[in-house]
Structure 1
Amino acid sequence: MKREDDRLNEEEVSKALEGATNTVSIRLQRLVEIFSNMDRPSRRTEFPAFEDIWIKLKGPEQTNLDSMQTNSANLEIAEPFDKLSVKNCKSSRLMVSSGFIGAVAAVLIFIFIMRSETETLPSYNTKISAVIGEAYILNHDGTPRSNLNNLSQLQNGDRIQTGARSSVDLILTPHSSVRIRENSEISLEKLMKKDDSEKVTMFLVRGTILAYIHKMKKDSDFVIRSDIGKVEVRGTKFLTSKTDEGFTVAVSEGRIIYTAANSSNPIPVDPNFQISTIDSTTKKNILSKSNARELSELDYIELESIPETGRKNAIESEEDIFRLYSLLEEVTVDGGIVHRGVIYAMDENFMYIRTVAGEIKIPQAKIQEVEKIR
C-alpha cells in the first residue's frame, strides 16, 4: 500500500503548473537533475518545460485542469459524495499518475536523443593558422566578444567576423583549410569528428570563404550554407561569396554540388566553372578572371597536409605579397639580418614569415625588431 505522501492529486499538479513549489515540482526537478548529470553533452541541454510536456501528453481535450475541477464540483451536486469519491477520484488519480509517468518518459526520450547525437560524433575545437588585420568572435547579439589570434580556440556555434583588409585562416580538419576574407561573417554550425569521420558545416552570413578540401572519406561531409544556397564538397578548391545581390560559388579544382534554397535539385559544378543565384534565378557560367585570381590565394595557405607540389609559385615580388595579405612587414634578427614579407603564423618558439624567396621559420629568441612597412 502506498503512503499518503507518495500519492499524486490533481490539485498538486495544477499548482505545480502554475509555478508553485510542491511535491510534484520537486520530484520532477530531481529526476531532471539526475538524468542530466548522468552524462552531460558538450553543449548545454535545454529541457522542455514540464507544463509543455503535460499539455502535449494529455491532448487537446484534456488540457485544462481547472475545467476538470469545475466538472467535479458540478458532479457533487447531482451525486452523493461517497460515489464521487470512488468514481471521480479514482479516474483523476489514474489520469494524473499516467500523465506524470508520461512526462518523465518524455524527459528520458529527450535526453536520449540529445546524448545519442553528441555521442555519435563528438564536437571538437578548430585551429587558426593565420590572422591578418582585425577579426573577432561575436556574441549572440552581434557585438565583438574577443579578438582572434593564433592561440584562439574555436568551437561549435562560434561566429567569426573579419574587418576591412583582414582575413583568418582556419584548419577545420587535417584535410582542409579555409580562409575567411575581409568584411565577412560566418558561423561554425557543426564541427564533429569521430575516428576518420569528419562533419563540418559553416553558415556564410556575408562575405567570402576560400576553401581547399582534400579528398574526404565517404562518411565525411563539408558543407557551406547560406540563406540562398548550399555547397557540398568531397575534395576540391573553391570559393563562396554572399553579397546583397546574391550567392556565388566558383570552382578551380575538383567538383562541388550546389543546391539553391528555392530548389530541391542539386547541380554539379566542375572545375573552371561558377554558379550564382541572384533574385531567385540560378545560372552556371565559366569561371571569371576575378574569381580565378581570388582562388589563387589558396596556394599560399600554410597547411602541412597539403602537398607542396600542389602549390603555385605565384609570389614573384613584394607587390604580390601585399596584394594577397594587404600587409608588408620587415623583421630584423640577430646580426642585423632583415627579412621582408608577411608574418603568417607564430607560436611560442618560432615566427613564420612568407617572403619572395620562400617561407622562413625564425626562432623567437633571435628576433630583434618587427616593423610594418605598408
Structure 2
Amino acid sequence: MKKFINKVDDIVPEMLEGLTLAFPEILKRLPDYEVVVRSEFDENKVSLISGGGSGHEPAHAGYVGKGMLDAAIAGPVFTSPTPDQILAAIQNVPNKNGVLLIVKNYTGDVMNFEMAAQMAATEDIKVETVIVDEDIALNDLNSVGAGKRGLAGTIFVHKISGAKAMSGASLAEVKATAQKVVANVATFGIGLNGATVPANHKRGFELSDGIAEVGLGIHGEPGLRQEPMKTADEFTAMIMEKIIDSLKLTANSKVGLLINGLGATPEMELDIIARKAIMMLKDLEVEVVKTWVGNYLTSIDMPGMSISVVKLDDETQPLLLAGANTIGMKVL
C-alpha cells in the first residue's frame, strides 16, 4: 500500500489542519476537537451541522461555508464521530435560532448524533435531526443493518436546507424542507473494487476482474448482488430506470443531477455516465435544472460511482440554485 500519509493515527487531525490552513477564509478548526466551523457566521439564521467518518472527502468539511453547513465533525476513517465531538460543534455555532443535524442513516451516526442532541437539550439549545436514507438499492430488501443508507444524495439536503436557512426560515421550516428533499431524492451506486483503509493496509474487499458490486454502500457494505461488467451506458441505464421509477419522474418533472465518483474513477468516465443519464432524462422530457459531475462523497480510493437525482418543486428549485461558497461545491 502506498499512501501520502505520516502516521495512521494522525490522518484526520492533519487533514483538518491542512484544510483550515489552505482555506482560512472559509474554515476554521475548533481547538482539541475534530470539528471545522465556518470562519464567518450568520448569527441570525438556523445553523446546520453534519458529519460522519472520514474517508468521504470532500464530505463533510467540504460543505461547510456560506449557503450550506455551519459545522462538520470528522470521525476516524469510516467510523462515527463521538457525541462529545458533535456536542462541541453544536455549542460552537450560533444556536439562538436552533440547530439542525443532518445525519446519514448508519447505526453509529444516528446513535451518536442523537446522544449529542439530548446533551445539547440540557443546555436549552434547540436541536432537530433529519435522517438521510435515500439509497434506493435497498428498496427491495427487508432489512440491511439500519435500513436504507445515506449516500451522495445527502449533498442535495445540505444545499437546499442550507439555502432555506439563509432565507431566514425557522428551525421547523428548515427541517420540513430538509425532510422534503430526503423524500424526493434517490441514489444508486456501483463499485468496481474495495477501498484501501489506511489502518488495514489493504482493500476492504477484492472483486475479480470483470465483476462489479451493484448497489454497494460508501463503506464497502455489500450491495444487492455481484454481476459481470457492463458498458457505461448499460449500467447507467439500469440505475436511471430505477431512479425514474422510484421518484415517479414524468414529462415536465424538474430535477437536479449528481454524478458522483467514489474516489478512483476518472472524470472522463463520470462524464460518459452523465451523458447517458442526461440523455435518458431528456428523452422522458424531464428538465435537468442543474448537473454536478465529480467527487462529492467518496469512499477513499474506491473505483466506482453513484448517481443521485433530486425531484424539485417551486420551493426547492430556487434553493438548489441559490449561491453557495464551500470547498466541495460552489454555486454562483
TM-score normalised per structure 1:
0.27
TM-score normalised per structure 2:
0.29
Greater strand percent: which structure? 1
Larger radius of gyration: 1
